[in-house]
Amino acid sequence: MDYLLHLIVISCVYVTLAVSLDMLAGHTGILSVCHAAFFALGAYTSTLLAVRLGFAFPLALLAGMLSAAMFSVAVSLPSVRLRDDFFVIATFAFQLIFSSLLNNWTVLTRGPLGIPGIPTPRILGWTVASRGDWVFLAALMATVAFTAARLLTGGPFGRVLRAIREDESFARALGKETNRFKATVFAVSGAIAAAAGSLYGHYVGYIDPTSFSLGESILIVSMVIIGGAGSLWGPALGAVGLVALPELLRLIGFPAVLAANLRQVLYGLLLVIAMVLRPQGLFGKYGFER
Amino acid sequence: MTSVVTLRCEGVRKSFGGVHALGGVSLGFAAPGIAAIVGPNGAGKTTLLDVITGFLRPESGRVTLGGRETTTLSASQIARLGMVRTFQELRVIHHASVLDNVMLGRPSQRGERLLFALSRIGVAKQEALNRAIALGVLEFTGLRGKADEPAGQLSYGQQKLLSLACCLATEARILLLDEPIAGLHPEMAEHILKLLVCLKAQGKLVVFIEHDLGAVREIADDVIVMDEGKVIAEGSPLEVLARPEIMEAFVA
């Protein structure tokens, strides 16, 4: 039971990540492979503030989100002008730089040793201690993230995002400052991913760079693509599915060591199958093909 | 709507590699009116439109709109100043409804700003207003019955019409249309030409690129003939298109 609750918390973290990436990749058509870097930025900023300076969880969380939003603006200034595949490469480079920073800036991050002893969050006198508390907090975060994504990808703002995805010059011809929209979505998406990182760090109580590698970014992209880019519900279910999959493997009798290693192979296989059979994903309406 | 807005190009030059697409073009337009740009393929007509609307930067020369220089502005800034364009190839948002396409054109929407998009304060009210205006534009263009269909399912001609409707939704005073009736069924072409005449009557300036000289004679007040990046003739269609050397340029 305890383990099931743990899986629910982790699922909520990934739902938050997948939904935030879907705003960018699915709705705006900008594929980014540096989502784990924003996840890390939230985790490191907030846990360092909590461990070293004793910041309360809500403040640390906000600081993490803010730093991710600021960083995303710094990344997007030179790169939002880039078209599709070049933008992917820019985010790829950012992810690599960030991973190497986490590993090598040991004074701040302690490198591969990681940061242990992250305190249990207290929110207005409520100590988030039991697994049940964590499930509540994580589900709350996922819901807020989902709602924010819904609001931003619907209505007039979402209309411009869809226009950017399908034909950016058409949107510009009608007077839309498309670079501003892209930078805004990138920042909001980064901030939400950072919130997930902040919660994750406080939940696990220990973070190190291996949780925020390029592989992690690709995992989040897989969740979005397999679930169905541009549908929000699809990526959310994709996240739950890919978190549950290795557990199911273990349940049907795969040895734990084998199941863990099979994960990557399976994700890759699923991605290929999705691309061949259903490029728009399980629940998506649009593929990545243009 | 009676004030005169002028669009001017002064010595506009643009080259791609070694090719001079525009070799010093100077032109003036005033609203209301209809002007046609004609010329053989590769004459620089679309390049001129791209430069005027900010999609390309000229190497030298300047473009002014109502006395204000627009050469350094971005395409979207120019559009917001009231000068919008259509493209030669079809450009509408295929997966969105016809109505959504037109609503996209509405200027300064509250819901396009982050905080309003998230809080939704006052967004619904403005959406309802924009929706009503967009439906009015669809009524005017004759696409009212298609409002809820995905734009991608419209016929070629209807999509051309839709791209014009999107421009109208912006309330821009100046419309630059790149071959608005090329490849259309004669009935649809006639319908669009009639709309352009209506737009002029509403005080707008319509500048369109066209190959069909019959259409130019029918509705244009002025015709500009371009060849090899230069304006080789300018004036009323009856006079200009009767000159033998102009017709030769077309045949060549």
Task: Please write the tens of the pLDDT for every residue from A198-218.
Answer: 999 999 999 999 989 888 899
**pLDDT given for residue A256 in this prediction:** 72
Task: Please write the tens of the pLDDT for every residue from A40-52.
Answer: 999 999 999 998 8
Q: Is residue B243 part of a domain?
A: yes
Claim to verify: residue B177 and residue B228 sit in the same structural domain: yes
Q: What global pTM score does this model have?
A: 0.90
Cβ–Cβ of B112/A152 closer than 8 Å? no
Cβ–Cβ of A156/B55 closer than 8 Å? no
CATH number for the domain harbouring residue B223:
3.40.50.300
**How confident is residue B189, by pLDDT bands cut at 50, 70 and 90?**
very high
Residue B85 has pLDDT above 50, yes or no: yes
Q: How many residues does chain A have?
A: 290
- The Cα A73–Cα A178 span in angstroms is 14
Claim to verify: residue B58 and residue B109 sit in the same structural domain: no
Claim to verify: residue B185 and residue B231 sit in the same structural domain: yes
Q: Taken in order B89, B90, B95, B100, is the CA torsion positive or negative?
A: positive
**pLDDT given for residue A251 in this prediction:** 80
Q: How many residues does chain B have?
A: 252
Residue B67 has pLDDT above 70, yes or no: yes
B117 contacts in chain A (CB < 8 Å): 151-152, 155-158
Q: Which of B153, B168, B191 corresponds to the end of one domain?
A: B153
Q: Which residues of B168-205 are buried (b: 16+ CB within 10 A; e: fewer)?
A: bbbebbbbbbbbbbeebeeebbebbbebbeebbeeebb
Residue B141 has pLDDT above 80, yes or no: yes
Q: Is residue B196 part of a domain?
A: yes
Give CA torsion, residues B181, B36, B79, B51, to 10 deg: 110
Contact by Cβ (8 Å): A219, A39: no
A265 against A40, higher pLDDT = A40
Claim to verify: residue B163 and residue B244 sit in the same structural domain: yes
Claim to verify: residue B115 and residue B181 sit in the same structural domain: no
Residue B34: strand pairing partners: B206
Whether the CB of A162 is below 8 Å from some CB of chain B: the reply is: yes
Extract the tokens encoding A37. 């870097």
Residue B4 has pLDDT above 80, yes or no: no
Q: Is residue B119 part of a domain?
A: yes
**pLDDT given for residue B169 in this prediction:** 96
Whether the CB of A163 is below 8 Å from some CB of chain B: the reply is: yes
Task: Please write the tens of the pLDDT for every residue from B108-139.
Answer: 999 999 999 999 999 999 999 999 999 999 99
Claim to verify: residue B179 and residue B58 sit in the same structural domain: yes
Please choose, from the candidates A11, A30, A8, A9, the residue with its C-alpha nearest in 3D space to the C-alpha of residue A188.
A30
Q: Which residues of B116-136 are buried (b: 16+ CB within 10 A; e: fewer)?
A: bbbeeeebeebbeebbebbbe
Task: Please write the tens of the pLDDT for every residue from B241-251.
Answer: 888 888 777 76
Residue B6: strand pairing partners: B30
**What residue numbers bound the domain in which B86 lies?**
6-92+156-251
What spatial distance separates the first Cα and last Cα of chain A, rounded to whole Å?
45
Restricting to A residues 101-160, those with a Cβ less than 8 Å away from any Cβ of B are 148, 151-152, 155-160
Residue A189 has pLDDT above 70, yes or no: yes
Claim to verify: residue B64 and residue B168 sit in the same structural domain: yes
Claim to verify: residue B48 and residue B105 sit in the same structural domain: no
Residue B64: strand pairing partners: B8, B69
- The Cα A134–Cα A96 span in angstroms is 31
Min CA distance, B167 vs chain A (Å)? 7
Claim to verify: residue B100 and residue B63 sit in the same structural domain: no
Mean of the per-residue pLDDT values for chain A? 89
Q: How many independent structural domains does chain B possess?
A: 2
Cβ–Cβ of B85/A170 closer than 8 Å? no
Q: Is residue B162 part of a domain?
A: yes
What spatial distance separates the first Cα and last Cα of chain B, rounded to whole Å?
42
**How confident is residue A2, by pLDDT bands cut at 50, 70 and 90?**
confident
Residue B176 has pLDDT above 70, yes or no: yes
A286 contacts in chain B (CB < 8 Å): 95
Contacts for A233 with CB less than 8 Å, ≥ 6 apart? A227, A283
Q: Which of B112, B135, B153 corresponds to the end of one domain?
A: B153
Q: Is residue B198 part of a domain?
A: yes
Q: Is residue B214 part of a domain?
A: yes
Average pLDDT over residues B164-171: 96
Q: Which residue of B has its CA nearest to A182?
A: B114
Segment A213-219 long-range contacts (CB within 8 Å, at least 24 positions apart):
A213/A36, A213/A99, A214/A33, A214/A36, A214/A92, A214/A95, A214/A96, A214/A99, A215/A264, A216/A35, A216/A36, A216/A39, A217/A33, A217/A34, A217/A35, A217/A36, A217/A37, A217/A95, A218/A33, A218/A267, A219/A267
Mean of the per-residue pLDDT values for chain B? 93
Q: Which residue of A has its CA nearest to B87?
A: A170
User: Cβ atoms within 10 A of the Cβ of B101, count?
Assistant: 29
Radius of gyration (C-alpha) of chain B in whole angstroms: 19
Q: Is residue B1 part of a domain?
A: no
Claim to verify: residue B166 and residue B237 sit in the same structural domain: yes
Contacts for B141 with CB less than 8 Å, ≥ 6 apart? B161, B162, B164, B165, B168, B195
- The Cα A263–Cα B247 span in angstroms is 71
A152 contacts in chain B (CB < 8 Å): 114, 117-118
Min CA distance, B118 vs chain A (Å)? 6
Q: Which of B121, B153, B185 corresponds to the end of one domain?
A: B153
Claim to verify: residue B136 and residue B177 sit in the same structural domain: no
Question: What are the CA-CA distances from residue B33 to residues A51, A226, A280, B38, B177 (Å)?
Answer: 70, 53, 47, 16, 14
Residue B16: strand pairing partners: B19
Average pLDDT over residues B48-54: 96
**How confident is residue A274, by pLDDT bands cut at 50, 70 and 90?**
confident
**pLDDT given for residue B2 in this prediction:** 47
**How confident is residue A289, by pLDDT bands cut at 50, 70 and 90?**
very low
Residue A119 has pLDDT above 90, yes or no: no
Radius of gyration (C-alpha) of chain A in whole angstroms: 18
Q: Is residue B171 part of a domain?
A: yes
Please choose, from the candidates A186, A113, A105, the residue with its C-alpha nearest in 3D space to the C-alpha of residue A152.
A186
The DSSP element (H or E) to which A213 belongs, if any, is none
Claim to verify: residue B81 and residue B100 sit in the same structural domain: no
**How confident is residue B193, by pLDDT bands cut at 50, 70 and 90?**
very high
